[in-house]
Each structure stands twice: as structure tokens, then as C-alpha cells.
Amino acid sequence: MLNHILSLMLAVPLLGAVACLLVDGRTARTVALVATLIDLALGIVLWSQFDVGGARWQFQENAALFAGFSWKLGIDGIALMLIELSVFLMPICILASASIEKRVGEYMAAFLLMEALMIGVFAAQDLYLFYIMFEAGLIPMYLIIGIWGGVDRIYASYKFFLYTLLGSVLMLIAMLWMVNEAGTTDIPTLMEYNFPVEAQKWLWLAFFASFAVKMPMWPVHTWLPDAHVQAPTAGSVILAGVLLKMGGYGFIRFSLPMFPEASAHFAWVVFALSMIAVVVTSLIALVQSDMKKLIAYSSVAHMAIVTVGLFAFNVQGLEGAMIVMLSHGLVSGALFLCVGVIYDRLHTREINRYGGLSINMPKYALFFMLFTMASVGLPATSGFVGEFLALSGVYQASSWVAFVAGTGVILGAGYMLYLYRRIAFGEQKNADAAAMPDLSARELVMLAPIAAAVLWMGVYPESFLAPMRQDIAALDARLSQARPEGDAKLTAGKPKAAGEHHEPAQHEGAH
């Protein structure tokens, strides 16, 4: 079974999806929950069987299909962690969909299809297979927003589609060229292949067009707030939790190892856009009156920390970026769940319609506070470890970038606490909000595991860092050929004579 566990993890949700289409709504919920739980169990097996420090690529399987195109799967530690994130969030998403009443079977099928495609993206080792999974993953999300979304769902879904279209086309052309040049579609081989530097630049830009939209980076981020606002809760969770990570995964799997020189050449573009993103989108988040829009904009700011970490070209930056991705997947997912909890009760995302929820929903207030603090990067939560590593990594490349990206630490605290204040603090000014019941058992089951994971990653991140360490080290070694020099220009010290015990210099005047 272990030889084909990845295929199995793809097959389970696919079969579940087919089953969901055939049965009635109630059964479909059960089928979906069971299928996602099986995948979660398989995910746990996968993690426990993953040999940390062993072969770089594990659980590989390969079946040639046609015309050089093959069903080739396999994972390293980076892919493993992102797969774990996906299978962890999926059952929670199914639970969070209790308020969906329209076309439940199709809804569940769409989610299960998406789970299969997400795992496929992270497990694919064939370039074309990756491309198909990567692009196909958009379709269920497009449907989820377009069919089960809010009032402006059509506008949001077409915007989502339009943005991703252009980048995808460019990426496909680049892939065709690469396969032609290197003579293989095997991703591990391509990661070692040295493309000519001039060609790298064009290829890098083509991939960048796709990944920057997915990330999303400023200024191609405007699809995200609309998509989040219109998507149903579970859609937002998956969108923020996993789909946004595909951009970061793309950078770490393709752009950096395949085009190291071009990555170094264009790092300033990434830095500039990320710095703008941190400041601009954080400030925009400050003035939002719609909860989901606020969290969506905060996502853009957090993803900018990922991109600066990735292009820091050192271990801390890369590991930090990965942890920010995992952490953001958990935390923003949880924040969207928190929004969903009160949206289900009052059917409005308007922040000012709430207030004083600490009084009637103390448990909710506790969880919401925890995730708020994780979002602002309080130490001992996952947010801190990632942010700290990523920023310390980029500091070695450029103190300016670290400083500007670091202002996100201040601004993030500003908009998140301002949000929390308006929702949970103050008097209960609206009778209907004041009458809302606290978390139900179902909602507790959704939020508690994420809370535990957030604290675990914050207190003992080694569990998550260890599987990725070797891959990050390999990538770091690969990048070392192109690593730009940092801006610190540290000179050697000129210690005064006679060692370490200095008298306070102020004494000199006393004699």
C-alpha cells in the first residue's frame, strides 16, 4: 500500500466525489466527511512513514501514459508538509459547510475534487501533470464561488478566472520550451538542470506571472478580496489555507531551483512588490468594514513575508517562508472559520453589526483571540516562528527589506486588534448580535484542532522543520551559486588592547 499511497490519497476523494454526485444531500455530507477523514488518516500514515533525513524523494511512483506524459508522483519534505496542511483542513471544511443547503451533493463533490487536485499539485513529479493539476484546481474553486457564493459571486468568479488565465498561458509556453530544451518532463531532473542564464530570465518571468497571481502579490491581488468575500466559508478556508500556498510552492519548487540566476537577478522585483504589499495592503486592511475583506487583505500582507523570505536566498528565509505558509494556512483558515461562525448566526459580514461578543460568546472570544494573536505573530504561536525566521533571513540580504516588511508587525497588530475590538469588545449594541449563542460542539471540533496545531507549531516547530530541513539545505546549496551579497558589509572588529574587560569609557574624564 505504501508504494501507492499517494495515488490512493488522490483516489479516495475522487471516488468520494463521484459518490457524492450520486446520493442525496444528507448522505453526501457523510460521504464527504468520511472520505476526507480517510485521507487525513492516510496523511498521518504518510507523515509517520516519511523517512526524515532519508532519500530526497520518497513514495515515488511512475506509470508511463502516452507521448512521454506519465503519471509520476513523489514527495519531499516540503510537499509532505503542504499535503498534510491540505488533508488537515479538508474535514474541517466539510464540517464548516453545515449551512450549505443548495445542491449539497455537487458542493461536496467539488470540494473532494479540489482535495484530490491539491494533493496532486504537491505530489506531481511530471511537469505536465503538475500543470494540469495546478490549473484544474481552479475549476472547482471557480464553481464553489460561482454557484454557492454571495450576491456578487459572478463578478468575483470571473475576476478570479481572468487573473489566473494570463499567467497560466505564459507558464505553459515556458514549460513547453523547457521540456524541449532539457528533454525531460521530470521535475527532480529539471530542478538540477542548468538553463542558460538569458533563457532563465524569460522562463522566470513566465512562471512569475502565474505564481504572483496565485500568491497573490501586489498589484495582481485584487481578485482575492472579492473571491473571499463572495466564497462560502469553507471555500474561503481552502482558498486562504491551501490555494494561496500554490504560488509559494511554485516559487520554491520551480523558480528558485530551476532558475537560480534569474531569481537572483529579479529578486529586487520581488522585494519591491512585497514591500509595497506589506505596507499598502496592511493600511487597506485597517479601513475595511467587511470582516472577510479585512482578513483577505491581511493575507496579501502575510504572503509578502513569504516572498521576501523565499528570495532571501538563505536557510532562515526559506524555512521561515515555509513556516509562514503553513502557519498562514492554519491561522487564516481559522480566522475565516471564525467569521463563518458569526456569519451563520447573523448573515452579515459588516463589522459594526457585531460588538461585545466576549459577553455572550466567551469561548468564541477565546479562540478568536488566539488566532488574532497568531496572525499578528505573537511568540509561541506558529505565526511568530515563520515571520521571525523569514525576516531574519531577509535581513541578511537587505536591512531595508527587513525593516519595511517588519512594519507589517506593527500594522498587523493595528488592524487585527482593531477588528477584534469592534467585534468582541465594547457594549452589546445590537440585540440580535447579543442574542447569539456561543460555539456549538461542531464548531468547537472545527476550531480546537487548529488551535492545537497553531500552538504546537509555535512551541515546538521542529516537528515541521525537520522533514523539510534536508530539502531546504539542498535548495540553499543550489542557490549558493547565484546568491547575491547582503547589504550589511560587516567589517572586522578593532578591539581595544587587553581583552574583554572594558572600563566604562565615561571614566576617562574623571582622572
Partner 1 sequence: MNPILLIVFLPLLASAIAGLGNRALGNTLAKSVTTTGLFISCALSWPIFISFVSGHAEPQVVQVLQWVRSGSLTFDWALRVDTLTAIMLVVITTVSALVHLYSWGYMAEDPDQPRFFAYLSLFTFAMLMLVTADNLVQMFFGWEGVGLASYLLIGFWFRKPSASAAAIKAFVVNRVGDLGFMLGIFGTFLVFNTVSIPEILVRAPSMAGSTVHFLGMQWDTMTILCILLFIGAMGKSAQLGLHTWLPDAMEGPTPVSALIHAATMVTAGVFMVCRLSPMFQTSETAMHVVTYVGAATLFFAATIGTTQWDIKRVIAYSTCSQLGYMFVAAGVGAPGAAMFHLFTHAFFKALLFLGAGSVIHAMHHEQDMRYYGGLRKHIPLTYYAMLAGTLAITGLGIVDVFGFAGFYSKDSILEAAYASASDSGRFGFWMGILAALLTSFYSWRLVFLTFYGKPRWVQSEHIQHAVHDAHAHGDHAHGHDDHGHAHDDDGTAGYHPHESPINMLIPLGVLTLGAIFAGYLFHHSFISEGAGHFWQGSVAFSEELIHHMHGVPTWVKWAPFVVMALGFVTAWFAYIRNPKLPAAFVEQLGVVHQFVFNKWYFDELYDFLFVRPAFWLGDKFWKLGDIGLIDRFGPNGAAWVVAQGSRAAKKVQSGYLYSYALVMLLGLTAAISWVMVH
Residues 411-430 that bind partner 1 (CB under 8 A): 411, 413-414, 417-418, 421, 424-427
Residue 62 or 440: the one with the smaller Cβ distance to partner 1 is 440
431 vs 510, beta carbon nearer partner 1: 510
The answer to whether the CB of 72 falls within 8 A of the CB of 61 is yes
Strand partners, 359: none
* CB 297, min distance to partner 1, A: 8
Burial of 497 (0-12, 13-18, 19+ CB in 10 A): exposed
Instruction: Name the one residue in this structure whose C-alpha cell is 503519471.
Output: 71
Answer yes or no whether residue 209 interacts with partner 1 by CB under 8 A. Answer: no
Cis ω for the linkage preceding 467 (within 30 of 0): no
Which listed range, 22-30, 31-39, 154-162, 245-253, lies at the site for partner 1 (CB under 8 A)? 154-162
Check residue 462 for interaction with partner 1 (CB under 8 A): yes
Give the contacts of 160 (CB within 8 A, at least 6 positions apart).
138, 141, 142, 145, 223, 226, 227
Question: Is residue 158 a contact residue for partner 1 (CB under 8 A)?
Answer: yes
CA distance 297 to 486: 30
SS3 75: strand
Q: According to CB under 8 A, which residues from 350 to 379 bind partner 1?
A: 356, 358-359, 362, 366, 373, 378-379
Cell of 176: 513547453
- Cβ density class 425-446: b for 16+ within 10 Å, e for less: eeebebeebbebeebeeebeeb
Is residue 51 a contact point for partner 1 (CB under 8 A)? no
Site for partner 1 in 383-402 (CB under 8 A): 384-385, 388-389, 391-392, 395-396, 399-400, 402
Residue 331 binds to partner 1 (criterion: CB under 8 A): no
**What gap in Å lies between CA 141 and CA 185, rounded to an integer?**
27
Q: Is 445 in the site for partner 1 (CB under 8 A)?
A: no
Rounded to whole angstroms, the Cα distance separating 473 from 306 reads: 18
- With beta carbons less than 8 A apart as the criterion, state whether 238 and 107 touch: no
Nearer to partner 1, 25 or 426 (CB): 426
The yes or no reply on residue 53 touching partner 1 (CB under 8 A) is no
Closest CB 166 distance from partner 1, rounded Å: 9
State in angstroms the smallest separation of the CB of 48 from partner 1: 20
With binding defined as CB under 8 A, does residue 102 bind partner 1? no
Question: ω into residue 219 within 30 of 0, thus cis?
Answer: yes
Among 180, 431, 441, 504, binds partner 1 (CB under 8 A): 504
Q: Does 507 interact with partner 1 (rule: CB under 8 A)?
A: yes
> By CB under 8 A, is residue 441 in contact with partner 1?
no
Task: Sketch the per residue contact string, 246 through 285, with partner 1: x for CB under 8 A, - otherwise.
Answer: ----------------------------------x--xxx
Q: Counting contacts by CB under 8 A, is residue 454 touching partner 1?
A: no
Which cell numbers in the block locate residue 344? 451563520
- For the bound state, the minimum distance from the C-beta of residue 119 to partner 1, rounded and expressed in Å, comes to 27
- HEC profile of 24-48: CHHHHHHHHHHHHHHHHHHHHHHHH
User: Is 256:479 a contact under the CB 8 Å cutoff?
Assistant: yes
- Is position 502 an interface residue for partner 1 (rule: CB under 8 A)? yes
Q: Minimum distance between the CB of residue 200 and partner 1, rounded to whole angstroms? A: 26
Between 180 and 427, CB nearer to partner 1 = 427
Q: Under the criterion CB under 8 A, does residue 475 sit at the interface with partner 1?
A: no
Q: Which stretch binds partner 1 (CB under 8 A): 46-54, 214-222, 265-273, 334-342?
A: 214-222
Instruction: Quickly tell me which residue has 493539476 as its cell.
Output: 133
CB 376 within 8 A of CB 409: yes
Q: Among 122, 142, 223, 254, which residue sits at the site for partner 1 (rule: CB under 8 A)? A: 223
Q: Is residue 497 a contact residue for partner 1 (CB under 8 A)? A: no
State which of residues 352, 403, 448, 481 lies at the interface with partner 1 (CB under 8 A). Answer: 403
Longest dimension (CA), the chain: 94
Restricting to residues 161-180, name those near partner 1 by CB under 8 A: 162-163
Q: What beta strand segments (E) does 149-281 contain?
A: none
